Structure 1
Amino acid sequence: PVRICHSHSTSWRGRASRLAGMQLFVFRRLITANATALCACGKEAGRFLFGKEKDVHLLPNGIDLDLFAGGCADTEAEKRKRGISDGRLVIGHIGRFTEEKNHEFLLRLAADMKERGIGLQLILAGDGPLRTDMENLAAKLGLDDDVRFIGIEDHVHDLLKTLDVFVMPSLYEGLPVTLVEAQASGVPCVISDGITEEADAGLGLVKRLSLKEPPGQWASAVLRAAEAAKPDGARIKETLRRLGYDAGENAGAVMKLYNMNWKKEQ
């Protein structure tokens, strides 16, 4: 009796084409005719898939704010577990190895920073169809000792505590959960302008850049982000809760849409 369609992206197949446009048109008609409720992780995601904002329920991707706001018990131990070297700038990214995540840009950025004499380690968490290609590219760029492909990460909250900067050069995104998690952990983020502005919680932790900017601009932004002052944990948690990123509260909203009773555990 309840059929909900939830939009999580702002682009269809990453590029405009007549075929993609026709498919999107058909999907919109099918969704409108069959869904009893429309949801989106952000306003832009709602406009993209449904072609409107009206009657679209905004349900941000909720996370466990307590888990990510808490400090890591032993950061150095977490670094050793993942093979992260001491004394280097640690840049991280979490995401599937697919075209839209733009891992090639990350590797070329790391190569540029290495050429400039910046000691860094790039940590890439995740898996996907392009992982082998990216591993080969890292070797070709001479980054064997500077990039760690750590695969699927089961404890993202601990990994984030080991990072100096989170970098996300995506070609397009809806409202990425990992970016919310990074901000919840107090990690400064340098992201592409292909990611919706809604993803910035206004904590001063996010810097957006165009992918057309040269690597040097991105490198400078990463270095500045690593040195910038960070907001305190209480402010981060309260801001994200107010913006709707509390998983417990979001669960209640989803259950309400499905006409089910919900009582958040205390």
Structure 2
Amino acid sequence: MAKHHILQVIPSLALGGISSVVMNWYRALDRNLVQFDFISFNDGPLAQEIIALGGRVFILPTFKQQPLRYMAAFRKILNNDTCYQAIHVHNSFKNVVMLWQAKLANVPVRVCHSHTAGLEAKWLRPLFGVIKQLTRAASNQYVACGQEAGSFLFGQRRFEQLNNAIDVKKYNLPNLSDDSRKALYEKYQLPKHKHLVLHVGRFSKVKNHQFLLALAQDKNLDNDIHFVCVGDGPLKTEVAKQIESDNLHQRFSLLASNNEIAKLMAIANAFIMPSVFEGVSVALLEAQASNLPCLVSNTVAKEVDMGMGSLKFLSLSEPNRWTEQLNLMTPKALGSEAQACFSRHGYSIDDVVDKLIGIYQIQ
């Protein structure tokens, strides 16, 4: 049986976000049939696992940083001894140059994957119409994590919705031992006997950590509520300085990206996501699989709701309602209904991998 090689282009090899989505596929698929290689623009802890699973890792500068080196390095990858059946670009329109190079190199399947329903970089807005047209012309498979993300990039054109499936069993940890819980509190220096409200996401404007800072200063917020923010990013230092200057250190723990999200969700009491905009968030899927009550901005794609009754969508223009709901949140109810809900909504990892094989046109 011939092995098919697929080139995955992801922003970073750090834990979380798009990289988690693609790694879930990689772990679940038949690697006798399909092998992934990865192009990334930032190194990270996932590189070791990729190599252990038989893949290769290529670290490139971004086009914006070093355009000539970027194009030369990519051409070298396409001209190596591997014949790629497909290239799957997860930076969507940001890698239009890469998609065009793949088209000129006659890579049979060129997948443009939209993971977002909005633009974070304002400078891109005047160019976005042209970039979208160029991106669509270079691709022959349009894929999105949800309807809003697909319409955002592809407009009225037909696209394949590929859900951000997760391994639900990994996140349903009602029986985490007392010793494991104690070790987590000690490792991450989390306050005991507090109501832990978890946030997982990159420190960037779109994730809206400023909203959490504002909530923390609300005098009506219960004294027992403590925000645990997991992630890295360009604004993390700024957020840390503001926490210190506003004397909010009793309200926050800032943790680096790590591979213990499932365990942290097991000890958390609730999950919060005040994003300015968001597609189908992997972190929010993980929170639901963990049976956490979730407070979510109404700008997040509604497709992320797995029908477990754990999500409450609120407007960012009404912070007082967020405070009220945080004060009312009760501890999560343990249960086993997550697997059935995820399967019913099409977020089974096996179904998604089967769909992926079809997108790559592998028999």
With normalisation by structure 2, the TM-score equals: 0.66
Alignment of 1:179-218 (within 5 A): 179-214=284-319, 216-218=320-322
Query: Runs of 5+ in structure 1 lacking a partner?
Result: 262-266
CA distance in 2, matches of 1:201, 1:117: 29
- Partner in structure 2 of residue 10 of structure 1: 117
Query: Which residue identity does 1:45 align to in structure 2?
Result: A
Per the alignment, do residues 101 and 76 of structure 1 end up closer, same or farther by CA in structure 2, a change over 3 Å counting? Answer: same
Alignment of 1:130-169 (within 5 A): 130-169=235-274
**SS at the partner of 1:255?**
helix
Deviations 1:167-205 (A, max 9, x none): 110001111110000001101100111111111112110
Q: 2:136 aligned with 1:32, yes or no?
A: yes
Q: Is the 8 A contact 1:14 1:172 kept in 2?
A: no
- Deviation for aligned residue 1:62: 1.2
Q: Is the 8 A contact 2:168 2:338 kept in 1?
A: no
Matched residues, number: 253
- Deviation for aligned residue 1:231: 6.5
CA distance in 1, matches of 2:222, 2:322: 15
Query: Which residue identity does 2:354 align to in structure 1?
Result: G
- Deviation for aligned residue 1:160: 0.8
Q: Is the 8 A contact 1:89 1:121 kept in 2?
A: yes
**SS at the partner of 2:116?**
coil
Q: 2:43 aligned with 1:43, yes or no?
A: no
- Deviation for aligned residue 1:13: 2.2
Q: Is the 8 A contact 2:215 2:221 kept in 1?
A: no
Q: Is the 8 A contact 1:157 1:185 kept in 2?
A: yes
Q: Is the 8 A contact 1:14 1:171 kept in 2?
A: no
- Partner in structure 2 of residue 127 of structure 1: 232
Per the alignment, do residues 21 and 146 of structure 1 end up closer, same or farther by CA in structure 2, a change over 3 Å counting? Answer: closer
Query: Which residue identity does 1:104 align to in structure 2?
Result: Q
- Partner in structure 2 of residue 62 of structure 1: 165
Structure having the higher Rg: 2
**SS at the partner of 1:109?**
helix
What value does the CA root-mean-square deviation take over the aligned residues? 1.9
- Aligned-pair identity in percent equals 31
Query: Which residue identity does 1:39 align to in structure 2?
Result: V
CA distance in 2, matches of 1:183, 1:117: 24
- Partner in structure 2 of residue 264 of structure 1: none
**SS at the partner of 2:148?**
helix
Query: Which residue identity does 2:283 align to in structure 1?
Result: T
- Partner in structure 1 of residue 58 of structure 2: none
Deviations 1:114-163 (A, max 9, x none): x6452222111000000000001111221123211111121111111111
Q: Which has the higher contact order (CA 8 A, sep 6+)?
A: 1
Q: 2:211 aligned with 1:105, yes or no?
A: yes
Query: Runs of 5+ in structure 2 lacking a partner?
Result: 1-107
Query: Which residue identity does 1:26 align to in structure 2?
Result: V
Query: Which residue identity does 2:202 align to in structure 1?
Result: R
**SS at the partner of 2:291?**
coil
Query: Which residue identity does 2:211 align to in structure 1?
Result: F
